[in-house]
Chain A
Amino acid sequence: MTSQKPSRLSYLTSGIIKENPVLILMIGLCPTLATTTSARDALGMSAAASFVLIFSNVVVSLVRKFVQPSIRIPIFIIIISTFVTIIDYVLQAYQPSLYRVLGVFVPLIVVNCIILGRAEAFAYSHGVFDSFLDGLGNALGFTLALVILGSLREFFAVGTVFGKTLTPNWYRSAPMLFMIFPPGAFFLIGILKALAVKLKLGK
């Protein structure tokens, strides 16, 4: 068991920084840019996507022995859409204000490239526990990227992070409002990606 330990740990950690789905691999961009108008919404979106990612990874790994390779993609899609439907209804019932903000992006988790990508590239060929770790790692990486972007956009556009005031009054009277609009999202993710390249995070 001891010889397996480093590889197990790396399943968990690789998704967070080295193969961060958003900042390094540049997949799952739609929710990353659309739902990060504030740190709180970004966290809500990451929680919903993380739930689907972890559970779909585990279930795909559980049933992988019974699934013929030729029909695996439709099976993955059915598994993923089951969890998406669950989270869709849970959010509608318990977090209606968050659900209204996220809108169409909750059902759209079903075509999130990260989730289908991990099912195909990892869970279909690995054990249940390893797939859980891989799902958790990628979910953390996704959450990290979204919360950074959401916090920055909220900070520049409103002067707060998670609703906490962090800037002096003179800034909040004339903030960089464009950061909350789509151009600000494109601009900031470009800067973050350039930073990731500069710091060689993917190496």
Chain B
Amino acid sequence: MNLSKIFIGAFLVNNILLMRFIGLCSFFGVSTSLDTSVGMSAAVVFVTMLAAWVCWVLWHALLLPLGLEFLRTAVFILVIAGLVQFVEMFLKKYVRGLYSAMGIYLPLITTNCAILAITFLNVDYGFNLLQATIYALGVGGGYSLAIILFAAIRERLEDSPVSPSFRGYPIAFVGASLISLAFLGFANLFGISI
């Protein structure tokens, strides 16, 4: 697979939120305003890249040679949890600007399944380090695109007259369904199947 196909596939065709249903808790949880969505997106893109690298190296340098493939789930989730803690402390001490922009979203990321899913998928697809990086970038970009689009719609929904039973979550789901329908139109773009 060439790199641009990997990127487009992760960014649009198989969008992680709208097509693959990974990371939905944060999709509905923080998309209530545009500001929080932008902060969360930045944190996800940043941690995704780091996690993809660290887990790729661990898998190929440690787990695979030692025949410890069955420890994958436990090792990857603990690595991500530790990594997030470390990044949070590092940013707090040395990069204050970045910390104030995305600091409060970092703890939420540990249980964001998008991050964990990317590390698993990089292994399942047999990507090399460059492909894994591009894939992580595509997924992070697709996550940001979907959540920022959706936040803009939800801000409008707040002021719209909606029937009482549909107020809040239900109408948000129906809105997500319509964006998802639009993204379904990207199926088979450049021959990338969903």
A residues whose Cβ falls under 8 Å from a Cβ of B: 26-27, 29-30, 33-34, 73-74, 77-78, 81-82, 84-85, 88-89, 103-104, 107-108, 110-111, 113, 116, 178, 181-187, 189-191, 193-195, 197-198
Contacts and interface: CB of A to CB of B under 8 A. Distances in A.
Interface of B: 18-25, 28, 70-74, 77-78, 81, 111-113, 116-117, 120-121, 124, 164-166, 169-174, 176-178, 180-181, 183-184
Contact of A108 (B120, B172, B183, B184): B120
A34 B22 contact: yes
Give the secondary structure class of B's interface.
helix
A105 B22 CA distance: 9
Contacts of A82: 74
**Complex A-B, nearest 9 residue pairs according to Cβ-Cβ distance, in ascending order:** A190-B173, A186-B177, A34-B21, A194-B170, A187-B177, A81-B74, A183-B181, A29-B24, A198-B165
B173 A183 contact: no
12 contacts: A34-B21, A82-B74, A104-B117, A107-B116, A108-B113, A108-B116, A108-B117, A110-B77, A111-B116, A182-B18, A182-B184, A183-B178
Contacts of A33: 21, 24
Contacts, number: 115
Contacts of A197: 164-166, 170
Contacts of A111: 77, 111-113, 116
